[in-house]
Amino acid sequence: MIIGVITDRREAVIRLTVHGPAGQDQEIEAVIDTGFDGWLSLPSSIITQLGLAWRRRGRALLADGSESVFDIYEAVVDWDGTLWRIPVDQAETVPLFGMSLLEGYELTIQVHRGGNVRLRTMPQTRPR
């Protein structure tokens, strides 16, 4: 199980460690974003600190109807006791967890400041 918390800004956040290719690592706090279908987004400052490897360009249609073009990198994350190699979208916002990273998990949120955020693996649904 993965445990997080609701912040004073009413954001559901979870902490995890992100590893770069040369052994650099950084613990981050990321906001769960159910409108983001990707894996994880990080700002360029963290991507640079970790020395993440660039993989390709991506495009996204934003909620306001505009299109965004961004770089996609690769990182390894500690996720629920397992190291996973995942794509990381560059976005100059707070780090975000997307639905691809949450797939196969049940999300429970106690929506009040300091409330618990829980992710539990759903049996036989995890595609990885």
Longest dimension (CA), the chain: 39
- Mean pLDDT of all residues belonging to the chain: 92
Query: Which structure tokens are listed for 79?
Result: 């996720």
More confident residue, 124 or 79: 79
Q: Which residue has the tokens 């306001």?
A: 64
Each domain of the chain, given as residue ranges in start order, spans 12-102
pTM listed for this prediction: 0.86
Fold topology of 12-102: Cathepsin D, subunit A; domain 1 (2.40.70)
pLDDT at residue 63 greater than cutoff 90: no
